[in-house]
Amino acid sequence: MKKFLSLLITIITISGAFAQSQHGSVSGVVTATDGSPVAYVSVALKGTSYGASTTDKGHFRIGRINPGTYTVVVSAVNMASQEKDVTIIAGQNATVNFMLDLNTSQLKEVMVNARTNSVKMDNPSQSLRLQEPLLQVPQNIQVVSAQSLKEQQIISMSDGIVRNVSGAFRLEHWGDLYANINMRGSQVQAFRNGFNIVTSFWGPLTEDMSFVDHIEFVKGPAGFMLSSGDPSGLYNVVTKKPTGQTKGEFSYTTGSYNLNRATLDLDGKLSKDGKLLYRLNLSGQNKGSFRANEFNNRYVIAPVVSYQVDDKTKLTAEYVYQRANMSNVGSYYVFSPNGYAQYPQSFTALPSGLPPTNINDHSVTLNMQTQLSDNWKLTAQAAYYNYGQNGSSMWADSVGRDGRYIRSIGIWDAKSTMSLGQVFLNGKVNTGSVVHKILGGVDLGNKVYNADYNQSHPLDTKDQMFDPLNPNLGVPPNGYPVFDRSTNLEARAAAGFGYIASTYSSLYVQDELGFFENKLRLTLAGRYTYIKISNYGGPEPTAKHFTPRLGLSVSVDERTALYGLYDQAFTPQVGRLAVGSVKPLTGNNIEFGIKRDWADGKWNTTLAVYRILKNNELTADPNADPNAGLSVVLGQKRAQGIEFDLRGEIAPGFDVTANYAYTDSKVTRSVVTGVTVPSFAKHTANAWLTYKLQGGALRGTGIAGGFTFLGDRSTDAPAPLKMDNYFKLDGGLFWEGNKMRISANAFNILNKYLYSGSYYAFLQSYYYQAEAPRNYRLSINYKF
**pLDDT class for 6, splitting at 50, 70, 90?**
low
> Average per-residue pLDDT in the chain?
87
pTM (predicted TM-score): 0.85
d(CA 201, CA 620): 11
User: 100 has which bridge partners?
Assistant: 32
* Domains of the chain in sequence order: 2-108 (2.60.40.1120), 247-783 (2.40.170.20)
The number of residues in the chain equals: 784
Is the pLDDT at 18 greater than 50? The verdict is no
376-390 and 59-65 beta bridge pairing: unpaired
Q: What letters, b where the CB count within 10 A reaches 16 and e where it falls short, cover 157-184?
A: bbbbbbbbbbbbbbbbbbbbbbbbbbbb
**pLDDT class for 500, splitting at 50, 70, 90?**
confident
| Percent of the chain clearing pLDDT 90 (strictly above) | 59
Q: Cβ neighbours of residue 18 under 8 Å, at least 6 residues apart?
A: none
Q: What is the pLDDT of residue 209?
A: 96
DSSP 115: H
The pLDDT of 398-403, averaged and rounded, is: 94
765-770 and 334-336 beta bridge pairing: antiparallel
Among 261, 301, 266, smallest CA distance to 284 is for 261
User: 388 has which bridge partners?
Assistant: 360, 415
State which of 79-83, 308-312, 571-575 shows the largest mean pLDDT. Answer: 308-312
**pLDDT class for 306, splitting at 50, 70, 90?**
very high
Instruction: Give the N- to C-terminal CA distance of the chain in Å, as an integer.
Output: 65
Q: What is the pLDDT of residue 12?
A: 38
Among 257, 458, 470, smallest CA distance to 343 is for 470
DSSP 731-776: EEEEEE-SSEEEEEEEESTT----EEEEEETTTTEEEEEEPP-SEE
d(CA 660, CA 710): 10
Q: What is the pLDDT of residue 547?
A: 85
Q: What is the pLDDT of residues 572-607, one digit of tens each?
A: 666 666 666 667 777 788 999 999 999 878 899 999
Q: What is the pLDDT of residues 479-495, one digit of tens each?
A: 999 999 999 999 999 88
d(CA 610, CA 219): 10
* CA distances for 27 relative to 59, 76, 81, angstroms: 7, 18, 18
Phi-psi region for residue 164, left (φ > 0), alpha (ψ -120 to 50) or beta?
alpha
Q: Are 529 and 504 in contact (CB under 8 A)?
A: yes
Helix H or strand E encompassing 593? strand 585-598
Question: Per mean pLDDT, which range of 160-174, 196-210, 224-238, 717-731 is the poorest?
Answer: 224-238
The pLDDT of 762-773, averaged and rounded, is: 91
**pLDDT class for 122, splitting at 50, 70, 90?**
confident
Strands (DSSP E) found in 355-498 = 357-371, 376-390, 392-399, 405-411, 413-431, 434-452, 456-458
Sheet holding 79-88, edge to edge: 51-53, 42-45, 68-76, 79-88
DSSP 489-505: HHHHHHHTT-EEEEEEE
Q: Are 403 and 337 in contact (CB under 8 A)?
A: yes
CA angle, residues 747, 240, 365, in degrees to nearest 5? 125
Nearest 10 degrees: Cα torsion 133, 136, 138, 144: 40
The pLDDT of 434-453, averaged and rounded, is: 93
Q: What is the pLDDT of residues 531-564, one digit of tens each?
A: 888 776 666 678 888 888 999 999 999 899 999 9
